[in-house]
Structure 1
Amino acid sequence: MPRLTSAQRNQAIGRLEAGHTAKAVANHFHVNVRTIYRLQERFRTTNTTDDRPRTGRPRVTTRRQDRHIVRRHVQTPFQQASETARQTIGTYGRPLSTSTVRRRLSSSDLQCRRPYRGPRGGGGGGIGLNQRVGPVVFQNLGPERGGGITAARYIDQALRPHVIPHFARHRNNVFQHDNARAHTARAIRDFLQQNGVNVMQWPALSPDLNPIEHLWDEIQRRLNDVIPRPNTADLLRQAFLRVWNQVPMAFINRLVHSMPRRCAAVIASHGGHTRY
């Protein structure tokens, strides 16, 4: 029986306050109805859905890292837990264990799966002040490392049709993407330089600096509420495109305006974790 995440607990309280029965809420989140009753009582008593302080070994990941692990495996469902563990730095400055990654996935009712031959989905997009770029739904993805998003696919399906036309209209913009393998390939650097795109220098292990991470969280929450749940790659693509356009521009602008605060927080923490 999975534990409810912080976001799911808040959603459960919202459903209860909207008039849903405890049994209906329990069925929606696939938990025992007693879990919902205890959550409701805790919220009435403490006005919060947070877990009570517990004894024992402290967690080695933050909630934001937990969301990152889950989102990584939603976007790349065939990635091994051991690879995610090696690529994720915990709160003590060391890579996570494979079992920690599996526990975080299990708490969100996910598990690592073996690759199979069949349709694969992958998507992305970009944001700016009063701007959306994309979205991009990658086609013909294969089982390669990184979810099959190679440098060639990144150029052909994201940069050439979406990014380059945008920067041709907005020459004063700065392009920001992280150090994913497909982004740092020499072919990518040469392509962006040849097309006059000014790229932000990106430090390693710094997801706190990227405001679009919060947009993906918002899109994931909205996708979780899609009924019926998409169960094919095509239905997931349609839901993603619909949800992408439903996110208010005011929400995106708040993320963009947060960049100076993000940079200041990362500098103040000497590259450590921040509230972002």
Structure 2
Amino acid sequence: MPPRTKLTTLDRGRALGWLQDGVSGREVSRRLGVSHSVIQRLHQRFQTTGSAVERPRSGRPRCTDRRDDRYLQLLALRNRTNTRRTLIDNFRAATNVTISRMTVTRGRRLREVRLHPRRTVVRPPLTPRHRRARMAFCRNHRRWNRQHWGRVLFTDESRFTLSSCDARIRAWRRPGERFIDACVQEHDRYGGGSVMVWAGFHLHGRTPLYRIRGNLTGMRYRDEIVRPQIIPTLQAMGAGAMLQDDNATPHRARVVQDVLQRQQIVRMNWPARSPDLAPIKHLWDIIGRRVRENHPPPADVDQLFRFLQQEWTAIPQQMLQNHVNSMRSRIGECLAARGGHTRY
């Protein structure tokens, strides 16, 4: 803990007594657990004024006591998305005490319990039925090890756009420079074009990145992805290989189920709204960041797809293995959250 910066009336008298007895200032500060500068200022003030009483301090007097501070903290914890204005109004309605915005944001009331305003994490909504399904899936696979997950082919589709807006980008700016060109990120919400791709990976390899043109239907998914991509990959993986995909409508089409059953392919019973359990989602995020960081950016959708192919191929196999190995941690965190959201 940092040393104290204030002395009680009793401590000020003890300090002055020790100083008059010849004890050094550093020894006095050590005995009282305060900074050496506190003892120096006390001694100097006593020699100048002949008194050890502290002078009146400037600044606005504190309008809340410890009980009020705890209530303000409780208001923030009851609803984490309360704005400063809402906290001030609710606090005034309950205590008849008016606090300023600076008290809430820069004061110590909330910082003392390590409460800071931060951007919320965006996740898909989970109903009780979704949470139960996630819990059931995690319980069934909680004892799976690297060997078990190494037999799974993780697959997914993702869409990448030419014009993107990354809310994580920050710009160094001075007051009044919010709208200068160097601090503005241009983004065309409805223009630029996009590319939808499909891919899969497992512990020892990956599939080629496939470009999906137009709407993906069940028949197109069967003819363009399942037969030429998924089935050969699973056969090359050997006995016990299984397929992981989400619950998108083309994936669950009857024509797709029929061809998988004829080929005796085992499909995992994947819970709905569980992107945090699918490691391939992190790979899409990595590729998306590299697309946004590429300078100059792709000029058209064909150049964007070629860049996506290069980045997909450039992902080290060790990174793919690390994502497969993370499944045990994902399962454990989902169980600990009782089917709720995890950090993945």
What TM-score do you get using the length of structure 2 for normalisation?
0.47
| Structure 1: distance between partners of 2:166 and 2:316 | 31
The Cα shift of 1:134 comes to: 2.2
| Structure 2: distance between partners of 1:232 and 1:136 | 17
Distance of aligned partners of 1:238 and 1:201 in 2 relative to their CA distance in 1, 3 Å threshold: same
Tell me whether 1:123 sits opposite 2:197 in the alignment.
Answer: yes
| Structure 1: distance between partners of 2:119 and 2:203 | 36
Counterpart of 1:236 in structure 2 is 304
Counterpart of 1:206 in structure 2 is 274
Counterpart of 1:164 in structure 2 is 231
Q: Please state whether the residue corresponding to 1:214 is helix, strand or coil.
A: helix
Q: Please state whether the residue corresponding to 1:126 is helix, strand or coil.
A: strand
Counterpart of 1:93 in structure 2 is none
Give the letter for the 2:202 counterpart: G
Distance of aligned partners of 1:184 and 1:232 in 2 relative to their CA distance in 1, 3 Å threshold: same
The Cα shift of 1:204 comes to: 1.4
Aligned residue pairs total: 178
Tell me whether 1:272 sits opposite 2:332 in the alignment.
Answer: no
Write out aligned runs for 1:33-182 (5 A): 54-55=116-117, 61-62=121-122, 75=159, 107=167, 110=187, 112-113=189-190, 121-139=195-213, 141=214, 148-170=215-237, 171-182=239-250
| Structure 2: distance between partners of 1:249 and 1:215 | 12
Counterpart of 1:247 in structure 2 is 315
The Cα shift of 1:180 comes to: 1.4
Distance of aligned partners of 1:234 and 1:199 in 2 relative to their CA distance in 1, 3 Å threshold: same
The Cα shift of 1:268 comes to: 2.0
Counterpart of 1:18 in structure 2 is none
Contact 2:160 2:288 in 1 (8 A): no
Distance of aligned partners of 1:274 and 1:111 in 2 relative to their CA distance in 1, 3 Å threshold: farther
Give the letter for the 2:197 counterpart: G
Q: Please state whether the residue corresponding to 2:266 is helix, strand or coil.
A: coil
Higher RCO, 1 vs 2 (CA within 8 Å, ≥6 residues apart): 2
Task: Report the structure number with the largest CA radius of gyration.
Answer: 2
The Cα shift of 1:231 comes to: 2.3
What TM-score do you get using the length of structure 1 for normalisation?
0.57
Counterpart of 1:191 in structure 2 is 259
Q: Deviations over 1:190-232 (max 9, x none)?
A: 2212222111101111111100011111111222222221121
| Structure 2: distance between partners of 1:181 and 1:231 | 32
| Structure 2: distance between partners of 1:106 and 1:234 | 22
Q: Deviations over 1:73-101 (max 9, x none)?
A: x8176xxxxxxxxxxxxxxxxxxxxxxxx
The Cα shift of 1:137 comes to: 1.2
Give the letter for the 1:107 counterpart: A
Give the letter for the 2:247 counterpart: N
| Structure 1: distance between partners of 2:188 and 2:258 | 38
The Cα shift of 1:121 comes to: 2.2
Q: Please state whether the residue corresponding to 2:201 is helix, strand or coil.
A: strand
Q: Deviations over 1:22-60 (max 9, x none)?
A: xxxxxxxxxxxxxxxxxxxxxxxxxxxxxx9755xx755
Worse-superposed segment, 249-258 or 221-230? 221-230
Give the letter for the 1:175 counterpart: L
Contact 1:206 1:271 in 2 (8 A): no
Q: Once superposed, what is the RMSD of the aligned Cα atoms?
A: 2.8
Q: Please state whether the residue corresponding to 1:243 is helix, strand or coil.
A: helix
Distance of aligned partners of 1:106 and 1:274 in 2 relative to their CA distance in 1, 3 Å threshold: closer
Contact 2:160 2:194 in 1 (8 A): no
Structure 2 unaligned regions, length at least 5: 1-113, 125-157, 169-184
